[in-house]
Structure 1
């Protein structure tokens, strides 16, 4: 089966395909899409274990490859001939690995938001898998609410105040723990192929978005050498999730790329 997807805007306009982050779903992009759908054909996809794709699982050992096949099949079912791929966090990692490995001639531009490009040594990969395994055990054995409160205590979310965290947790509480645990392990950063060589050599236009307050990904972005086809944009005053905190600004930057 294809992954669950929704389309907004005329398919006669350029197509933008959106991939959400861990714990999210297609609805995370709605406020941004409201600014774009008059000029673009916007496609949102629920990743395995999330939203209406909750019953779809990715292989623990070949999770990225499974996700790529599911995404490609979904786009084929929608008869999309050319598109740009936009991914946030986990969705960005999947999008980057898709671009690196699939050589899809339909893919015209890649936009990554707060996304890791992959680890380049075995020690870091081993440590990361143990980190993800511990979180997977929490999601699989605790209530979703308890796991979410622990998840958003991580340093990467320090820019969020308590009120904002409570709002996000309420939004995310519809998730199911076991599918989340499965997806967390299937697409662990430990399994992601480091894309530094791809980024240095590809002719595919790529834009990397990150927030000024997101120290981890600000440093990561600054460590990646710019090329003729790789550009960076920093959202001043924002943290890890720029598209939800400033959707109009985010949409305007997408328009600047394509219009």
Structure 2
């Protein structure tokens, strides 16, 4: 059976963000990229919001699949994994996370992060012109998590995002804030399926997170930061090909 990889991009992500990675994957792997929700119901919890969105996507997806999520998409993938474990335990065959945060540990940390994301959301919503939006994007990519990106790489990111709606981005950032998310660390250790975590060696924060996760296979890309599929798609494709095709061979031999 052809393995199907359902892919979720990060904040401000678009389906074409994975084009370079998908082009390097084996023809024996089928990829489907989902568009993350923008218009979110603020009355719902993080998990309920993700479940509601995913249920609307589910009817278009195959019976069985693997999940791949980058950053925000990885956080949604963890919530989806929890939902599927409870409702469709045979559907999800494995979970791949790229630079994704499993969740904060205390109410204080969550409150601080929610305030931070709410402030950023306000900045996105306040943009009135294309030039203002470009400036907000520039400030976004000046955050420490993107510190290894070159000026040219940042410019490429900004140019690819300028057609997006700043107001919708603000809504997405606030409603899907890490500050509203439960901690899925225990979930990852309890899932009855393989979990793989990819991080860049230059991204010390998320590499440290990956090292602390129980029951997870952790892969680290040398000379790479937060966005591995952008910075080192060939390395990442090699890992995914090896993982999924080896599992396919094992399944076929049974």
Same fold (TM over 0.5): yes
Instruction: State the shift of 1:242 in Å.
Output: 0.3
The reply to whether residue 138 of structure 1 matches residue 123 of structure 2 is: yes
Measure the CA separation in 2 of the matches of 1:112 and 1:192.
16
Instruction: State the shift of 1:171 in Å.
Output: 0.8
SS where residue 59 of structure 2 aligns?
helix
Measure the CA separation in 1 of the matches of 2:240 and 2:153.
25
**Structure 1 runs (4+) greater than 6 angstroms displaced:** none
Measure the CA separation in 1 of the matches of 2:174 and 2:43.
9
Q: List aligned pairs for 1:48-59, cutoff 5 A.
A: 48-49=37-38, 57-59=39-41
Which of 107, 122, 141 is equivalent to 1:122? 107
Instruction: State the shift of 1:45 in Å.
Output: 0.9
The reply to whether residue 73 of structure 1 matches residue 56 of structure 2 is: yes
Instruction: State the shift of 1:76 in Å.
Output: 1.4
The structure with the greater share of residues assigned to helix is 2
Structure 1, residues 194-234: CA drift from partner, whole Å, max 9, x if none?
A: 01221222222100000000011112112223x2xx21000
Between 194-203 and 103-112, report the one with greater CA deviation.
194-203
Instruction: State the shift of 1:61 in Å.
Output: 3.4
Measure the CA separation in 2 of the matches of 1:111 and 1:156.
20
Measure the CA separation in 1 of the matches of 2:220 and 2:7.
20
The reply to whether residue 253 of structure 1 matches residue 239 of structure 2 is: yes
Corresponding residue of 1:97: 79
How large is the Cα RMSD of the aligned pairs?
A: 1.4
Measure the CA separation in 2 of the matches of 1:231 and 1:136.
34
Structure 1, residues 46-73: CA drift from partner, whole Å, max 9, x if none?
A: 1112xxxxxxx12123244233332233
Q: Which structure ranks higher in relative contact order (CA pairs < 8 Å, sequence separation ≥ 6)?
A: 2
Corresponding residue of 2:199: 210
Which of 152, 158, 161 is equivalent to 1:163? 152
Measure the CA separation in 2 of the matches of 1:65 and 1:85.
19
Structure 1 stretches lacking a partner, 5+ long: 1-11, 50-56
Instruction: State the shift of 1:127 in Å.
Output: 0.4
Instruction: State the shift of 1:37 in Å.
Output: 5.6
